[in-house]
């Protein structure tokens, strides 16, 4: 069974902790990655955390996850969520279970953030839990693929 979850973060998520902390909080991307590693380890899973401000590079990461037959993908596509049919197509093309994550509640924000191309390619979407959404995404992914927490 595949043991690695790809955790992919899109544009501007490298600025977590300093970008609009009143919306996104003070946790950094390094904090997100540590949270993901800690949570995945409880299930005997590894994480491969990556961030890019470039759409094509995110697509390459998704293709790599597919080629490696990863256990699944957690993706916060940032602003590409609302614009990228190409990311949607990459996710559906690799046929891996995926969870969409957003730090803020995108549905309580500007109307252009209410539509997600990513959601249509994911089995679940989480928004508004802050960085805890990543932990919840890993828990949901583990349940989806039938892996229980280690004692």
Domains of the chain, by residue range, sit at: 4-145
Count Cβ atoms within 10 A of the Cβ of residue 102 and give its class: 0-12 exposed, 13-18 middle, 19 or more buried: buried
Decide if domain 4-145 falls under CATH 3.30.1360.120: no
Q: Answer positive or negative: Cα dihedral of 28, 102, 10, 20.
A: negative
Task: Tell me, yes or no, if 24 is annotated catalytic.
Answer: yes
Q: Is the pLDDT of residue 53 over 80?
A: yes
Q: What is the pLDDT of residue 44?
A: 96
Question: Which residue among the candidates 24, 43, 80, 134 is catalytic per the annotation?
Answer: 24
Displacement of CA 86 from its chain's centroid (Å): 16
Task: Please compute the mean of the pLDDT values over residues 88-117 and round it to a whole number.
Answer: 87
Q: At what angle do helices 85-94 and 55-67 cross, to 10 degrees?
A: 10
DSSP-assigned letter for residue 71? S
Question: Which residue among the candidates 43, 80, 88, 102 is catalytic per the annotation?
Answer: 102
Q: Work out the pLDDT band at 114, boundaries 50, 70, 90.
A: low
Q: Is the pLDDT of residue 150 over 90?
A: no
pTM summary value: 0.94
101: helix, strand or coil: strand
CA distance 42 to 141: 13
CA distance 32 to 40: 12
Task: Tell me, yes or no, if 80 is annotated catalytic.
Answer: no
Q: Is the pLDDT of residue 139 over 90?
A: yes
């Amino acid at each position: 069974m595949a043991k690695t979850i790809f955790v992919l973060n899109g544009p501007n998520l490298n600025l977590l902790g300093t970008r609009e902390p009143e919306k996104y909080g003070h946790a950094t991307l390094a904090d997100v990655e540590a949270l993901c590693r800690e949570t995945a380890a409880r299930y005997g899973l590894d994480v491969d955390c990556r961030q890019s401000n470039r759409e094509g590079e995110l697509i390459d990461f998704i293709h790599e996850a597919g080629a490696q037959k990863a256990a699944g993908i957690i993706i916060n596509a940032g602003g590409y969520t609302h614009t990228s049919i190409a990311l949607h197509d990459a996710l559906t093309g690799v046929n891996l279970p995926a969870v969409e994550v957003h730090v803020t509640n995108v549905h309580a924000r500007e109307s252009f953030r209410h539509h997600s191309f990513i959601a249509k390619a994911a089995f679940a979407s989480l928004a508004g839990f802050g960085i805890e959404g990543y932990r919840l995404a890993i828990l949901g992914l583990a349940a989806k693929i039938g892996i229980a927490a280690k004692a």
